[in-house]
Chain A
């Protein structure tokens, strides 16, 4: 469904991504993990059109989406929950959800869904008229995810959903993601909390200093000696050299 090939992104003189390739197939949960500064968020920003790649291709459902505006990508079915949640603090919970639903063609169904989401996330339902800025971190993250889901995306991308949350709340958020997986939602999960993300995902990519250093299904990645090395910052061979042999790189593979 999503195919990123040889993606290069530069910020001025600095190259953030040196030719990164990864893919997400329909119905999969794919984790993109790596230490701070590896380029995970940059990859997501390139997909949603917030940064323009220097080279490489990004295809969604077989069509290129490079240079598309962020607001149009949502209409094509890609929804990003940005790092740091970015809920609209001065708007109420209901207004945040209504914004998420604003792109839906069927207004009445969208309105129904706002109510449905308030039931599905009871913490939000209880505080529907509160300003979103007054919610706790975990509630804000739930709101950010709900706001993205209510647009009915085909692909949901989560950027560091567990960042800055208490361990119990992190459990809740991962619980929400695994519910999404069980419901068949296609998810691209970017996390620093690598082990949990990889355990949850069908397939994973490990990104380090702008390059994919490891990819494969969860067991393969978890058991690979480079997985830990990536996190400890130990250079295990030349960058990009060892690629796990689990699943072939799915970059060319696109499901219609």
Chain B
């Protein structure tokens, strides 16, 4: 029983981390119909900020982290994606690859190829007991932050005028413009929010690993892509559900697989995703906008 509860906590923590990554990708996809592969580099930029500024007081470091990553996200949209927005989805997708590789290699040029390590916040690596279950502070923070973000994002989308405009743009961008939704503003705001999500994600990720390389974002963001596709492209709730399903299945496989097969856990994980997509090609939640496109 204790092992089960421990597994539930682990699954929630892992799912939460994936969810924060996946939301950033799903948000951009919902308004722009573009998979932003450079989202992982936003995470990498955040990780570099945290590790390189390890001597700066935590609060100030977090502030710098948010400003730099949100700024990078907005700048990325302005410089790379806006000029090619009219050129079609394939062009935008390839542009996002280009931005991603450019930043990965720029990181090597500037910081060198070596792994750098540092501590983000040592308190997070301690743990506490909740009844019979030992919970890592970092895991607790991850779960709580994700809940807060979900509530905040939902309120933003439901209760504010710009959130309403964003939902309209996600459903039908052309008509949204006809009723006066400013395309540039909505997309810039979406990138700003995805930058904020990437900043938070990079904080949690770096706190966990304590290291940064030029590709630190890629591995987790790959998981987040799988989560968004599993959940259904373009649906924010789908992305979150996909992330939690992925986190849960991953933890279950980790516990159930024989020891010698555990290194291949992700192969089993992706096989399971594959089966789901064969049965439900649109993902778990199919949105109106994605149906219309196919």
Contact = CB atoms under 8 A, between A and B. Distances in A.
Contacts of A75: 180
B127 interface: no
B164 A80 contact: no
B61 interface: no
Contact of A88 (B168, B177, B180): B168
A95 B170 CA distance: 14
A48 interface: yes
Nearest to B167: A91
Interface string A58-87: 000000000001110011000110100010
Interface stretch (A21-29, A97-105, A167-175): A97-105
B189 to A, nearest CB: 14
B167 A102 contact: no
Interface string B180-197: 111100000000000000
Contact of A70 (B167, B172, B177, B287): B177
B27 to A, nearest CB: 16
Interface in A124-159: 133, 147-148, 151
B171 A69 contact: no
B286 to A, nearest CB: 12
A161 to B, nearest CB: 15
A90 B288 contact: yes
Contact of B165 (A70, A74, A99): A99
Contacts of B89: none
B180 A91 contact: no
A70 B288 contact: no
Contacts of B180: 71, 74-75, 99-100, 102-103, 151
Contacts of B278: none
A10 to B, nearest CB: 17
A89 B165 CA distance: 14
A192 to B, nearest CB: 21
A50 interface: yes
A98 B181 CA distance: 12
Interface in B146-193: 161, 164-165, 167-168, 171-172, 174-183
Contact of A74 (B164, B168, B171, B179): B179
A69 B178 contact: no
B190 to A, nearest CB: 16
Contact of B288 (A99, A133, A148): A133
Contacts, number: 69
B171 A98 contact: no
A74 B165 CA distance: 15
A89 B174 contact: no
Interface residues on B, range: 10 to 19
A71 B172 contact: no
B164 A89 contact: no
Given A90-B167, A133-B288, A82 B175 contact: yes
Contacts of B176: 88, 99
Contact of B177 (A71, A89, A91): A71
B288 A80 contact: no
Question: Of residues A99, A147, A148, A151, which shows the largest number of chain B Cβ atoms within 10 Å of its Cβ?
Answer: A99
A91 B175 contact: no
A100 B171 contact: no
B164 A69 contact: no
A71 B174 CA distance: 9
A88 B181 CA distance: 13
Contacts of B174: 50, 70, 82, 86
Nearest to A148: B179
Interface in B123-162: 161
Contact of B164 (A71, A91, A151): A91
Given A71-B180, A151-B179, A95 B171 contact: no
Nearest to B292: A89
Question: Of residues B161, B175, B182, B288, which shows the largest number of chain A Cβ atoms within 10 Å of its Cβ?
Answer: B175
A44 to B, nearest CB: 10
Interface string A228-256: 00000000000000000000000000000
A98 B179 CA distance: 10
Nearest to B175: A86
Question: Which 4 pairs between the two chains have the least Cβ-Cβ distance?
Answer: A103-B180, A86-B175, A70-B177, A74-B180
24 contacts: A50-B174, A69-B177, A70-B177, A70-B178, A71-B177, A71-B180, A71-B181, A80-B178, A82-B175, A88-B171, A88-B172, A89-B171, A89-B288, A90-B287, A91-B164, A91-B171, A99-B181, A102-B161, A102-B179, A102-B180, A102-B181, A103-B179, A147-B179, A151-B179
